[in-house]
Structure 1
């Protein structure tokens, strides 16, 4: 009778590589940027709205309320246009997610090892890349028209807009997930909140001459602090209290947006 002896060779198990949030964000952002790079005309098309506001609305402000702006109407209005461009760009990012629901691309992204927060941050940062390009063009166009550029403050102001845009973009994605079975509701909710936030931020018209209830409502509008901060930063004062409150509003918006967005994305994957 023979005995069969088996020898076992120990197998060394390698630990699963840890997720790298920065790498995941870069992967998602590069994926989202590819369509933009293939179609650069979309960036030029996005310039139409801010340039129209600058060309038509700016002279009206200069003629009717020029004495109100101590540093000049463009020093007051150009930062507002940059905030408005960020607001329109990031608040509509959820529409891209609605399209991915229809094509099944979102479900395929959820089964990848990418972190859920990177799916939101990467997509929101993708929106900021063309917005930064548009901001550079706006600043370059307006500099010859008595717009005084303070480069340090402008860089800090664009960084603040990036933080605010991440939070707003994440909220837009959460809204898209919530209404994915009735996608028309996305535009109803987005438009319902967008324009009151714009008006109550003093973005297009100063609120100093408005009724008292509007001034009170503006205190509870985070966008108003971002607008005030951008005007202060683009004037070169990076250490003012207005800039500090703008950072607080941007960070709170980013934290709230990512928290709500990640929870909504986790529920959508369940």
Structure 2
């Protein structure tokens, strides 16, 4: 809670970056979602929003939390993180406080996206909204842990930026963010099954469509919870190595 309060205090004093981070998904929602009406069964904007809003939420998890580790690199270079790692503080709290802040921001940004989509005509039930927010929190938990683990392992902004950009584009395209993966060639549909973001997008679309029994829903939750545990373990081990 102390680390979380510290991180939220920094965010409160400089709220510009979260606002910039949410602008891209909102612009996609306003300018791209209407284009999808041509591939929906009835050609309505509501159907297009059901298809694209979960993708916009996953986009926040990608472009927001995946870049959160850059601040930790600066703290590593300045020696701040090393002093914290050898202090009396519980080491997992050093990472978990930052991760909790990222997840809270992701949920708040997701609520804003859902509000914009509702103003555009999206109509979904509260149970679906609640489950999608939980799924986005799990996806953000994985992305944040991965970002901090990568920051502690690489410790260089340029190297981390290259790695993130290299993997981000194919993961985004193979998840069906922009268009449903069902319209892709067979080989691309087969490769997409190995992309965890694909299950997040498909599960979100199924929940918004009212199909709570879709197989991608439990797979997405289980997959991201397991990946979150693995990436958190990796980041904590990297922190121990930093402390010597």
Instruction: Give the drift of 1:99.
Output: 1.4
CA distance in 1, matches of 2:167, 2:105: 24
Aligned partner of 2:3 in structure 1 is 28
Q: Which residue of 1 aligns with 2:226?
A: 252
1:167 is aligned to 2:126: no
Conserved in 2, the CA contact under 8 Å of 1:28 and 1:119? yes
1:85 to 2:60 alignment: yes
1:205 maps to 2:165:
no
CA drift of 1:201 comes to: 0.8
Q: What residue number does 2:205 align with?
A: 231
1:191 deviation in Å? 0.4
Pair 1:44 & 2:19 matched? yes
Deviations 1:18-38, CA, capped at 9 Å, x for gaps: xxxxxxxx2222111111112
**Is the contact between residue 26 and residue 116 of structure 2 (CA under 8 Å) also seen in structure 1?**
no
Does structure 1 residue 268 correspond to structure 2 residue 242? Answer: yes
Structure 2: which 5+ runs fail to align?
A: none
Q: Cα RMSD over matched residues?
A: 2.0
Shift of 1:209: 2.0
Cα 1:218/1:37, change in 2 over 3 Å: same
**2:115 aligned with 1:140:** yes
- Do the aligned partners of 1:226 and 1:246 also contact (CA within 8 Å) in 2? yes
User: How far apart, in 2, do the equivalents of 1:190 and 1:27 lie?
Assistant: 29
In structure 2, the residue corresponding to 1:220 is in which secondary structure? coil
Alignment match of 1:59 (pick from 31, 34, 37): 34
Residues 82 and 135 of structure 1 are in contact (CA less than 8 Å); yes or no, is this contact kept in structure 2? yes
CA distance in 2, matches of 1:28, 1:237: 39
2:180 match: secondary structure: coil
In structure 2, relative to structure 1, the CA distance for the partners of 1:41 and 1:177 (3 Å cut) is closer
Distance of aligned partners of 1:236 and 1:217 in 2 relative to their CA distance in 1, 3 Å threshold:
same
- 1:131 corresponding residue in structure 2: 106
1:192 Cα deviation from its structure 2 partner = 0.5
Distance 1:113 1:237, change over 3 A: farther
**Bigger proportion of residues as helix:** 2
- Determine the C-alpha separation between the residues in 2 that align with 1:208 and 1:69: 17
SS in 1 for 2:27: helix
**1:122: how far off?**
2.0
Quick check: which has more Rg, 1 or 2?
1
Q: Is 1:107 equivalent to 2:79 in the alignment? A: no
What's the counterpart of residue 116 of structure 1? 91
TM-score (normalised: structure 2) = 0.91
Under a length normalisation based on structure 1, what TM-score does the superposition of the two structures give? Answer: 0.83
Alpha-carbon distance in structure 2 between the residues aligned to 1:97 and 1:165? 17
